[in-house]
Structure formats: C-alpha cells, structure tokens
Amino acid sequence: MKKKLNLINVLLFNFPLIISSIIISCIVTICNIQLRKYSGNIIDQIGIVNEIHYTLIRITGCIFILVTGSFINKYILKRLIGFTCKQLLDKLTYSISNCNQAWLNNQNNGDAINTFTTDVNGVGNYINRIVGIAVSDAFLFFITCILIFKINFYLAILLIISSTIPVFVINISSNLLQKKYKTFQEIFSNANKTLHDTLSNIELVKAYSIQVNSLDNYSGKLKQSNEYNRTLAKLESLGGAISILTSFLTVLVTVGYGGWLVSNSYITIGTFFTILMLTDYIIDPIMKFSNTIFITKKTKVNIERLNKYLLAPCENLGNKELVQIDSKIVLEMRNVSFSYNENDIILNEFNLKIKKGEHIYIIGPIGSGKSSILKIIAGFLQHYKGDVYLYEQNLKECNIESLRSIISFVTQDVFLFSGTIYDNVSIVKPNSTKEDIEEVCKLAGIHTEIVNMEKGYFTNIGEDGYGISGGQKQRLSLARAFLANSPIFLLDEPYSALDIKNKEHIKKTLSKIGKNKVIITVTHDTSIIDDNSRVISLESLVKG
C-alpha cells in the first residue's frame, strides 16, 4: 500500500543520518554556548593568571570541536538531502511509470515536470532548514533560556515574552503565504506546459507562423506567476521585518533590565557580558524562525503536489501470472463495452475470438474504437465492462507485468528516444547483440538505410526521431516489436508512413514470423489487406 508523504516522514528517509546530524548539531550548540560563557568568565578573572589560563584552554577546545563538528555536520546534511531527493525521484518515477494510463493522460505534463524539479528541491530545502538550522536553533534557544533562568528568573521571562509574541503574527501571514504559493505553483506549471507544447511542436508553430502568439502566451503566464512571486516576497519580507523588530526589542530588554541588575549589584559585569552574548542565541533563532515557518508552509504545498503523483492510481489488474498454455483460442473478448464518458460509447458489447497463427485486420471510421481495442488488450484501458481472455485467463485476474511480457505493441504515434538508432531498437531487450539488432532491422526493411548513414547503427537521432523520416521512424518501431518477438503483436496503423515497396516488405515479414503468433493490425488502408484475410469492421458499431 502506498504511504502518504508528510512533513514528518519526509525527514526519516535515512534515520541514521538525521540522528547523526542532530547529535552533532547539539554538541556544536553546547560548545557555542560554552564559548560565550567562558568569554564572560575571562572578564571576571582578569588578574587571576591560573584561572584565565585554564579558561583559554577550554575556549581552544570548544573552538576545535565547533569547527570540526560544523564541517562533519554539513557533509552529513548534504548526504541526507541528496539521498532523500534521490529516493523521492525514484518513487516518483516508479509511481508514474506504473500508474493508470487513463489517469496519466488527464494530467498536465508541465505540472509533472514542475513536481520533478521544484517540488523535490522544495523538500530538499525543507530538510536543510529543519535539520541543518531549526533543530540546532531550538536546542540553542532552550539551553540559553535555562542558563539565563539560572542567572535571573525575571530577566529570562522578559526575554522569552519579548521574543515570542511576534511569532503569532508571523504564523498568520504564513497561512496566507501557503495559499499564494499553491496558486503560484499551479500557474508556473501551466507556463511549463505551454513551453513544453511549443517546443514539442515547434515545426507546427513555425509552419503557421504563430511563434509570437506562443511566446506571448508563455510570457503572459510567466508574468502572472511573477506577480504571485512578488506577493510571496512581500509576505516573507514582512516576516523578516517583524523578526528585526523582535531582535531590537530583545536587546533593549537585555540592556535595560540587565544594566539595572548590574547597577544594583545583583550580577557582575562579567555575568552581564555573558548575558549579552547569550541573548544573541535567543535573537538569532527568532530571526530565522519566520523563514523556517515560511519554508515549512511552502513544503506543505510541495508535499501535497508530490502526493498527487506518489499516490496515483495503479494499473490495477490482478495478481496471477499470465501463463501461455496450449489453447485453441489465444484471445477472446466477451461483451466488451467501453466509453470515456457516459455520453460517448466507444465499444458496445464487442466480441472477438482469435486463434493461434491468425492475423486479423480491424477497420472502421475515426472514433469507432479500433485503437481502444488494442489498448484494452494491452492493459492501458482498464475501466471496461465485459471480459478479455488470453490463453483462457481473464485479464482482470492477471498482473500487468506478465501481460505486457507477451505483447509487442506498435503505437499509432511512433515515439523514439533521444539517442542512437541502436539504443532505440535494443531498449526492449538491452542484452541483445548487434547481430540481433541488424536481423530485426532487416525484417523491418531499414537495415540498408542505416548502414548507409555515416555512423550506421550508432547514428544519433533527436527526441521523437528528429533527423530521420516518418517512414524510418515507423520501421524502427516495427524493428523494436520484432526484437521483442512476443507471441501477440498489436499494430496500430503500422503502414501509415510507408511507401508501397516498404508496405509489401512488412506484409511479407509479418506473414513469415506470424505463423505461431496472434497479430492484430488496426488500419484505415484497405489496400494492404489480402482478399483471404480476416477483417473485423467496426463501422456498424458506430453510433449514428
């Protein structure tokens, strides 16, 4: 079961490191306080050589521990932040790659990018603030108050009151900051989406000369996000101003009441000097406290956004392993109905049986459900009615990994990764040999074109196949499917970008390798269908 992230458990991804950091912070804090205390003692020990000598030795020891401890703690803190951010990124990647496809299709891709960057970094800043600053500051404040209580009870009470009252004002403004920050993140995500869409479709943008409109749209959203950012800056500045006022009030109380205590011989000048230096350990945490609150409020928004993806609905098929058995009927769909919404029925009680070695074609107009059938079989669309059986086993009872392991899926929108041709084909079987890759590329009819390129199979192509033709992209996608060599091939418009020569080559390849497989081809191109082929027409199923 997925665990919801919160402000506490995000700090506990590496418990040993966080405990080590806290312990070292406390040791460093004690040394800091002792330094101030010994500095005050020196004033009272002027003229007493032996006492000053021992005090200076203690000061030297404290400085050594202080410097060494601070260095070690910074190293531990960096490791803790790096480890936590990596864990979060790993969890995000796993969750998104295994989430329900229909849910993922409805998400803003700019929002996802923002989550991987801004929100994860926000958690890193929070850990740095809490573990690296807030914990040691809280310990410092607590110990300092105890020491001042021992010196003079009333002075300690006055210092605590003067330093903590403004905290309530800061907390009120931080609640407003949290709301504004959430809106800022949403607007910034939309700006990211606009930029992503523009860059992903840059040729279309240029073709219609709409660069100015696209940039204006992006600039407008950035301007809106900057306005919210300025509001956030004002709220944080207000917290800073209150902190400065608090520090001034605390110093005023210390000097005023402390001076009165000295003049009436309640404390020595050395003790008063110690109090003045210790007051800094009350002022400094309070000065930082407003920023700590603001960072915590921002992180609550970051965590809320992270949970959206970390708790995303999974591809929730069953737990049984799908086993290939010797079955007369390999694939059967019984009364399958599917719709994206109540008013748009795509499939209505659709039935289909396919035997081993069959290659069927599914034809029909746009919106008739051709691609939806393939996505249902592949487990991408799961909210359907009816039943789908593979090797006499209901897909609803089988786990998604075992299902995908027996399917080679060539999607309608061919996608290639930025990298070499070799990497793009071998991605389905990373341990494949060069001979394996060349063999499947020959089957896809693209081997000769590849070897004629300057770097052959190690030619780099851009994101989404930039630098090669649409037909080459499609054949590389087919080569990937041939390398997977699954018993079931789902081909969605595999001929759409091919010329007549390459269409015939792919048809012969499918005929050659398909004798013991199930091949389902969705197409609008009836010219590639032989007269004796089995054809499923969805035209009659489309609502008029």
* Secondary structure (H, E, C), 214-280: HHHHHHHHHHHHHHHHHHHHHHHHHHHHHHHHHHHHHHHHHHHHHHHHHHCCCCCHHHHHHHHHHHH
What pLDDT sits at residue 446?
A: 94
What pLDDT sits at residue 463?
A: 73
- Whose tokens are 């790659």? That residue is 97
What pLDDT sits at residue 543?
A: 40
- Burial label for 381, CB within 10 Å (0-12, 13-18, 19+), is buried
Residue 331 has pLDDT above 80, yes or no: yes
What pLDDT sits at residue 47?
A: 53
Residue 49 has pLDDT above 60, yes or no: no
Q: How far is 32 from 40, CA to CA, in rounded Å?
A: 13
- 245 vs 380, more confident: 380
Q: How far is 187 from 410, CA to CA, in rounded Å?
A: 36
Q: Which CATH superfamily is domain 9-310 in?
A: ABC transporter type 1, transmembrane domain (1.20.1560.10)
Hey, how many other C-beta atoms are within 10 angstroms of the C-beta on 59? 18
Q: How far is 42 from 270, CA to CA, in rounded Å?
A: 8
Residue 531 has pLDDT above 70, yes or no: yes
Nearest to 504 by CA among 522, 528, 480: 528
User: Both tokens of residue 223?
Assistant: 């301007």
- Give 207's pLDDT tier (boundaries 50, 70, 90): low
- Give 544's pLDDT tier (boundaries 50, 70, 90): very low
CATH for 329-541 is: 3.40.50.300
264 touches 219 (CB < 8 A):
no
What pLDDT digit, counting tens, does each position of 275-285 carry?
777 777 777 78
Q: How far is 400 from 520, CA to CA, in rounded Å?
A: 20
Residue 45 has pLDDT above 70, yes or no: no
- 501 vs 206, more confident: 501
**Averaged pLDDT for residues 477-486:** 93
What pLDDT digit, counting tens, does each position of 87-131 carry?
999 999 888 888 887 788 788 777 888 888 889 999 999 999 999
What pLDDT sits at residue 236?
A: 72
Q: What's the pTM value of the predicted model, to 2 decimals?
A: 0.72
Mean pLDDT of the chain: 84
Residue 369 has pLDDT above 80, yes or no: yes
User: What percent of the chain is modeled with pLDDT above 90?
Assistant: 30
What pLDDT digit, counting tens, does each position of 431-455 carry?
999 999 999 999 999 999 999 998 9
Of 163-172, 209-218, 512-521, give the lowest mean pLDDT range: 163-172
What pLDDT sits at residue 166?
A: 66
- Burial label for 71, CB within 10 Å (0-12, 13-18, 19+), is exposed
Tell how far CA 143 is from the center of its chain.
39
Angle between helices 153-200 and 135-151 in degrees, nearest 10: 170
User: Both tokens of residue 360?
Assistant: 């069927």
Domain ranges for the chain, please list them. 9-310, 329-541
- Give 80's pLDDT tier (boundaries 50, 70, 90): very high
What pLDDT digit, counting tens, does each position of 224-258 carry?
878 877 887 777 777 667 767 777 777 787 788 87
Residue 366 has pLDDT above 60, yes or no: yes
User: Both tokens of residue 157?
Assistant: 């009470």
- Rounded to 5 degrees, φ, ψ at 333 are -115, 120
Angle between helices 470-484 and 500-513 in degrees, nearest 10: 0
- Whose tokens are 């949403």? That residue is 186
HEC readout, 416-470: CCCEEHHHHHHCCCCCCCHHHHHHHHHHCCCHHHHHCCCCHHHCEECHHHCCCCH
What pLDDT sits at residue 447?
A: 95
**Averaged pLDDT for residues 492-504:** 91
Residue 178 has pLDDT above 50, yes or no: yes
What pLDDT sits at residue 477?
A: 92
Residue 413 has pLDDT above 50, yes or no: yes
**Averaged pLDDT for residues 146-159:** 81
**Averaged pLDDT for residues 482-491:** 93
Residue 142 has pLDDT above 80, yes or no: yes
What pLDDT sits at residue 472?
A: 92
Residue 524 has pLDDT above 80, yes or no: yes
- Give 533's pLDDT tier (boundaries 50, 70, 90): confident
What pLDDT sits at residue 489?
A: 95
Angle between helices 135-151 and 269-310 in degrees, nearest 10: 150
Question: Using DSSP, how many helices (H) and how many strands (E) does the chain show?
Answer: 17, 11
Is-same-fold flag (9-310; 329-541)? no
